[in-house]
Amino acid sequence: MDYKDFVLVPQHENYITIANEEGTEELFQIIFSIESEKLNKYYVVFSKVSDIEQSYSEDGDDQVEVGAAELVLDAEGNGELVKIETEEEWLIVEQGLQEFDENFE
């Protein structure tokens, strides 16, 4: 099923901190966001800054592990990351990743 209900929005210098299982905050860079008009939602795709830096080192490869979440903004513009739950939402994110890979290889 080709489901093109999104727009990729490149990010520049956007960082977030996410607490890991031990409660330690780690720095992540938002690689791009996805806007779904049909679902009226935004999603962000991000990666650990340390993984990105490692991928640029001489002994690193050019692939990094990424995560994704829904981004919910409040009236003041503060964001909260919400776990993606539905197959429809994951399909949008997966297609966004494919398009990003194709455009930026």
Question: pTM surpassing 0.85?
Answer: no
Quick: pLDDT tens for 21-39.
888 888 888 888 899 988 9
What per-residue string of b and e applies to 26-35 under the rule 16 or more CB within 10 Å gives b?
eebbbbbbbb
Residue 52: enclosing H or E segment and its boundaries?
helix 49-56
Quick: pLDDT tens for 41-89.
999 999 988 888 777 766 656 678 899 999 988 888 777 889 999 999 9
Q: Rounded mean pLDDT of the chain?
A: 81
User: What's the pLDDT at 20?
Assistant: 80
